[in-house]
Amino acid sequence: MMLYSRLSLVCFIVVGTACFSYGQSDNAESLASWNDGQTKSVIVDFVRRVTAKDSPDFVPEGERIAVFDNDGTLWVEQPMYIQLVFALDRVKELAADHPEWKTKQPFKAALEGDFHGIAASGEKGVVELIMATHAGMTNDEFSDIVANWLETTRHPKLNRPYTQCVYQPMLELLKYLSANGFKTIIVSAGGVEFMRVFAERVYGIPPEQTFGSSVKMKYELRNGKPAIIRLPEIDFVNDKANKPVGIQRYIGRRPIMAFGNSDGDFEMIEYVTAGEGPSLGAIVHHTDPVNEYAYDRDSVAGRLVKGLDEAESRRWLLIDMKSDWKQVFP
Amino acid sequence: MMLYSRLSLVCFIVVGTACFSYGQSDNAESLASWNDGQTKSVIVDFVRRVTAKDSPDFVPEGERIAVFDNDGTLWVEQPMYIQLVFALDRVKELAADHPEWKTKQPFKAALEGDFHGIAASGEKGVVELIMATHAGMTNDEFSDIVANWLETTRHPKLNRPYTQCVYQPMLELLKYLSANGFKTIIVSAGGVEFMRVFAERVYGIPPEQTFGSSVKMKYELRNGKPAIIRLPEIDFVNDKANKPVGIQRYIGRRPIMAFGNSDGDFEMIEYVTAGEGPSLGAIVHHTDPVNEYAYDRDSVAGRLVKGLDEAESRRWLLIDMKSDWKQVFP
């Protein structure tokens, strides 16, 4: 009888611990690079609210989807979008085969290092520049080019490989959300196949949860082997009002959390926070000129005007990098 | 001491069972509607080969992706694609607003119930018919229309709701693969938003793992509320040589299993089985005229010629519905 009791006690402890680690703890302590304060509380409270089974705002695990912009939200986008740096390096490498680039914008500006000229070609020009330098090979070949470039180049100011120019607090947030049954998905204006080269290794986000802008592709046999060929034609620019369209296209249901940093993310956050159930929209505000950069309204990359003006009235969370984060990089 | 031993015995049994169910058993017994024989063995052996940690062909869980066609692979496509039945019902409902349909193919044929005329408009005509009847509303509105139609219509021969015209052995296969760490993903020529209405409930496959053909969409505010509007313009026809492109677009890495049933799946299976690691391609062959239908080379829906001719030389598995399945429907 006494040993039966001991057995019961063992069972109670085992079961009790299991319940606690599953139902109660939410691993909020893993957000170690976030300062305690209102911002962290809003995130943690939201996660607790949608994961606690007895909560009126409980959301089943399969519906816990959190979408993230990439440039300026998960990694650095200053002094220039990283993929744009890659594209400029590619333009220089490919210029010999494209004499017309010497007179055609935005390629002329790219070859001359004329960033104002590139900017003057507008977002469409920038995307064209990126797409034109990202096509004409198989997708596997492109991935190898990107992987090699990421291994051999470093950020000019931060002096580290670009894959280490990722925000430590956001890495912790991704893990924290995964641990709480969320599926984390990238919805970026950046090129999807560029991001897929490093997203799984760096962010823990697999290719099938990484989406962005894309070129058209075709399938063909090359030397008898099936290959996906990248065509020099834009398929989809996953930015601004296209982000909710991309969400429908690639995910097919409304996420409940959205993290962005620029007005390119405005419609994504607007769409996510217009759902009938609980939702949280958040903007990473770049306010740390010492450890990273400080910019918003006047920046070419990651311009933030509307989001800044309307965050409060829309009850979107503004993440202040300088005051909310203890540490920016890993 | 005796009771301590009993406790040890209990622990041994518990731990032993846990190890067995995790590491050794692969739930092959859950494939209850599959006859024992070579076909079932090929599938089960493949799954064991890629999931056993000590196997030279071991594939990490995140890379275990299995893609499935939908029409004719997971559910019935005779006497007509189910989504085409839906489209014809919609044409009749919408005809009053489209007087031009009386003279324009394939709409004219659709209104007249002239299936040869519809077939004569080709696959593109069929897709156009589907797309034209699937646009001009928000995506949520479309989903409601589909859900309502699925609830209120029945298959003419099988006399059951279309959502019960799904193949029981394939439902078991989807569950079996999920239990073995596979992500199961639909890659269909059917309309993606049509399938997403029932795929999660019927197949256990969530929207973000369901892909198909699509119309273009745009994001706008309707009465101040964010909405995704379906435009009457084809975005992507996810069939034939576009299936590998769709796989790259939506998944971003090569699956290791592919299940189809028609020549529309040929390139998908070709692409999947051309990977460097282990892979399995399979074709569901419709050979059961009593319980379902028997068709291949001469069928309009689900025509299978090339796949049948080349399955053996390519070492693709032919699933013979009549001899390999004990039962067709749930």
State how far the Cα of B30 lies from the Cα of B275, in Å rounded to an integer: 28
State how far the Cα of A232 lies from the Cα of B187, in Å rounded to an integer: 25
What pLDDT does B237 receive? 92
- For B172-201, the pLDDT digits (tens) are 999 999 999 999 999 999 999 999 999 999
Q: Cα distance from B230 to chain A (closest Cα, Å)? A: 10
Q: Residue A280 pairs with which residues in a beta bridge? A: A257
Chain length of chain A: 330
What pLDDT does A116 receive? 85
B62 to chain A: which residues are within 8 Å by CB? 200, 206
Q: Is the pLDDT of residue B16 over 80?
A: no
State how far the Cα of A261 lies from the Cα of A291, in Å rounded to an integer: 17
B226 to chain A: which residues are within 8 Å by CB? 244, 267, 270-271, 274
**Containing H/E element for B275?**
none
What pLDDT does A25 receive? 61
Q: Is the pLDDT of residue B136 over 60?
A: yes
State how far the Cα of A321 lies from the Cα of A165, in Å rounded to an integer: 14
CB environment B167-202: b (16+ within 10 A), e (fewer): bbbbbbbbbbbbebbbbbbbbbbbbbbbbbbbbbeb
Mean pLDDT of B25-37: 89
Categorize the per-residue pLDDT at B14 as very low, low, confident or very high, splitting at 50, 70 and 90: very low
State how far the Cα of B245 lies from the Cα of A217, in Å rounded to an integer: 6
State how far the Cα of B267 lies from the Cα of A125, in Å rounded to an integer: 35
Categorize the per-residue pLDDT at A20 as very low, low, confident or very high, splitting at 50, 70 and 90: very low
Q: Please answer whether residues B72 and B170 qualify as being in contact, where contact means their C-beta atoms are separated by less than 8 angstroms.
A: no
Tally the C-alpha atoms within 13 A of residue A195's C-alpha that lie toward its C-beta.
Answer: 31
Chain A segment 225-254 residues within 8 A of B by beta carbon are 225-226, 228, 235, 241-245, 248-253
Q: Would an 8 Å CB–CB cutoff place A271 in contact with chain B?
A: yes
Q: Please answer whether residues A142 and A228 qualify as being in contact, where contact means their C-beta atoms are separated by less than 8 angstroms.
A: no
What pLDDT does B303 receive? 97
Q: Is the pLDDT of residue A142 over 70?
A: yes
- For B65-74, the pLDDT digits (tens) are 999 999 999 9
Q: Mean pLDDT, chain A, as a whole number?
A: 91
Mean pLDDT of B162-166: 98
- For A270-294, the pLDDT digits (tens) are 999 999 999 999 999 999 999 999 9
Please choose, from the candidates A169, A67, A115, the residue with its C-alpha nearest in 3D space to the C-alpha of residue A301: A115
State how far the Cα of A283 lies from the Cα of A297, in Å rounded to an integer: 14
Phi, psi of B27 (to 5 degrees): 60, 25
What pLDDT does B26 receive? 74
Spatial CB neighbours of A13, under 8 Å, sequence gap ≥ 6? none
Kindly determine whether residue A218 and residue B245, on different chains, have CB atoms separated by under 8 Å. Answer: yes
Spatial CB neighbours of A192, under 8 Å, sequence gap ≥ 6? A210, A211, A212, A213, A214, A238, B252
0.80 exceeded by pTM: yes
- For B281-303, the pLDDT digits (tens) are 999 999 999 999 999 999 989 99
Q: Would an 8 Å CB–CB cutoff place B224 in contact with chain A?
A: no
pLDDT-wise least confident of A82-96, B155-169, B265-279: A82-96
Q: Cα distance from B49 to chain A (closest Cα, Å)? A: 23
- For A198-256, the pLDDT digits (tens) are 999 999 999 999 999 999 999 999 999 999 999 988 899 999 999 999 999 999 999 99
Nearest to A206 among B62, B185, B226 (CB): B62
Phi, psi of A258 (to 5 degrees): -140, 130
What pLDDT does B2 receive? 41
A224 to chain B: which residues are within 8 Å by CB? none
A274 to chain B: which residues are within 8 Å by CB? 225-226
Q: Is the pLDDT of residue B236 over 90?
A: yes
State how far the Cα of A174 lies from the Cα of A324, in Å rounded to an integer: 16
Q: Is the pLDDT of residue A147 over 50?
A: yes
Q: ipTM for the complex?
A: 0.90
Q: Is the pLDDT of residue A24 over 90?
A: no
Q: Would an 8 Å CB–CB cutoff place B139 in contact with chain A?
A: yes
What pLDDT does A326 receive? 98
What pLDDT does A50 receive? 98
What pLDDT does A14 receive? 38
Mean pLDDT of A143-170: 97
State how far the Cα of B27 lies from the Cα of B252, in Å rounded to an integer: 29
Q: Please answer whether residues B253 and B276 qualify as being in contact, where contact means their C-beta atoms are separated by less than 8 angstroms.
A: no
Q: Is the pLDDT of residue A93 over 60?
A: yes
Nearest to A252 among B207, B220, B245 (CB): B207
Mean pLDDT of A44-54: 97
Q: Is the pLDDT of residue B23 over 90?
A: no
Q: Would an 8 Å CB–CB cutoff place A137 in contact with chain B?
A: no
Percentage, residues of chain B above pLDDT 70? 92
- Which residue has better confidence, A213 or B127? A213
Q: Would an 8 Å CB–CB cutoff place A267 in contact with chain B?
A: yes
- For B105-123, the pLDDT digits (tens) are 999 999 998 888 888 888 7
Please choose, from the candidates B161, B254, B249, the residue with its C-alpha nearest in 3D space to the C-alpha of residue A191: B249
What pLDDT does B29 receive? 87
